[in-house]
């Protein structure tokens, strides 16, 4: 008999850092990025479905690099119209300073998001390790 519960949506589950398999339990031990030293601490497995969260190669470093570069260049969308850029003055250096500051401040969230994207790419929805025994 199929359950009548609706499937959790992909994007809200991804951005709220939920399990990629069941999309119900949180992946990280701390819901907040603070304290920064423990912002990447992940649970070993999902409490709801038993999906393993940690793997040897689960660092998401390449995804984090891509997200960081995207954010760096997306800063142009708001910086250029507001302040302008020119090679004739120091505005390029101001842009670089502002962009580096924005990227550094967003880095803890970007590192978490890159791990979540990695998990969502390599974990199928609905395939958990726990077997329903019918108890």
* CB within 8 Å of 73: residues ≥ 6 apart: none
In a domain, 135, yes or no: no
In a domain, 5, yes or no: no
In a domain, 130, yes or no: no
How many CA atoms lie less than 13 Å away from 104 in the CB half-sphere?
Answer: 6
Q: Using CA atoms, how far apart are residues 87 and 122, in angstroms rounded to an integer?
A: 44
Q: Which residue range is the domain that position 59 belongs to?
A: 10-122
- pTM score, two decimals? 0.79
Max intra-chain CA distance, the chain: 74
Radius of gyration of the chain (CA): 19
CB neighbourhood size of 88 (10 A)? 6
In a domain, 56, yes or no: yes
Per-residue pLDDT tens listing for the chain (135 residues): 455 567 788 899 999 999 988 999 999 999 889 898 888 889 988 998 888 887 666 567 888 999 999 999 999 999 999 998 888 888 999 999 999 999 999 999 999 999 899 888 887 776 655 544 444
pLDDT of residue 134: 44
pLDDT of residue 135: 43
In a domain, 42, yes or no: yes
The tally of domains found in the chain comes to: 1
In a domain, 131, yes or no: no
Q: Using CA atoms, how far apart are residues 76 and 82, in angstroms rounded to an integer?
A: 10
In a domain, 127, yes or no: no
Q: Is 20 helix (H, G, I), strand (E, B) or coil?
A: coil
pLDDT of residue 130: 54
* CB within 8 Å of 44: residues ≥ 6 apart: 52, 53, 54
């Amino acid at each position: 008999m199929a359950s009548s519960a609706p499937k959790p949506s992909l994007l809200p589950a991804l951005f709220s850092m939920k399990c990629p398999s069941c999309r119900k339990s949180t992946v990280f031990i701390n819901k907040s990025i603070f304290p920064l030293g423990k912002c990447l601490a992940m649970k070993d497995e999902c409490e709801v479905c038993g999906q393993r969260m940690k793997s040897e190669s689960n660092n998401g470093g390449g995804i984090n690099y891509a997200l960081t570069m995207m954010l760096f260049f997306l800063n142009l969308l708001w910086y250029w119209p507001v302040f302008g850029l020119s090679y004739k003055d120091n505005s390029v250096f101001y842009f670089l300073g502002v962009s580096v500051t924005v990227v550094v401040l967003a880095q803890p969230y970007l590192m978490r998001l890159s791990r979540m994207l990695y998990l969502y790419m390599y974990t199928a929805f609905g395939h958990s390790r726990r077997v329903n025994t019918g108890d």
